[in-house]
Homo-oligomer: A and B are copies of this chain.
Amino acid sequence: MIVMTMFGGSARLQWGGNWSRLAAMNATKASRTGSGASAASASTYHHGNLREVLITEGLALAAEAGLDAVSIREVARRAGVSPGAPFRHFPDKVALMTAVAEEAMARFRAEIVAALGRETSGDPIRRIRAIGKAFLDWARRNPTHFEIISSRRAIDFAGSASLGASNAAIQAQMVSLLEEAAQCGLLRVNDPHLIQITGRALVYGLARMLIDGQFPSWGVTEDEAEDVMERSLDLFLAGLLKAPASADPGRS
- Chain B residues with Cβ below 8 Å from A232 are 194, 197-198, 201
A198 touches B236 (CB 8 A): yes
Bound-state CA distance A164–B228 (Å) is 21
A231 at the interface (CB under 8 A from B): yes
Bound-state CA distance A200–B200 (Å) is 14
* Complex partner residue of A239 from B205, B219, B239, CB under 8 angstroms: B239
1/0 contact string of A196-216 vs chain B (CB within 8 Å)? 111011111110110011101
User: Chain copies in the assembly?
Assistant: 2
Q: Which of A125-151 contact B (CB under 8 A)?
A: 150-151
A25 at the interface (CB under 8 A from B): no
* Complex partner residue of A217 from B157, B201, B205, B208, CB under 8 angstroms: B157
A31 at the interface (CB under 8 A from B): no
Shortest distance between the CB of A3 and any CB in chain B (Å): 40
Contact of A197 with B239 at beta-carbon distance under 8 Å, contacts A209-B204, A245-B188 already known? no
- Chain B residues with Cβ below 8 Å from A238 are 188-189, 239
B245 touches A220 (CB 8 A): no
A181 at the interface (CB under 8 A from B): no
1/0 contact string of A220-238 vs chain B (CB within 8 Å)? 1000000010011001101
Q: What are some 19 contacts across the A-B interface (CB < 8 A)?
A: A68-B153, A158-B216, A167-B217, A188-B238, A188-B245, A189-B235, A191-B235, A194-B231, A195-B235, A197-B228, A198-B235, A198-B236, A200-B205, A201-B232, A202-B205, A204-B214, A208-B208, A236-B236, A239-B239
Complex A-B, nearest 8 residue pairs according to Cβ-Cβ distance, in ascending order: A239-B239, A205-B205, A201-B205, A204-B205, A198-B232, A201-B206, A202-B202, A198-B235
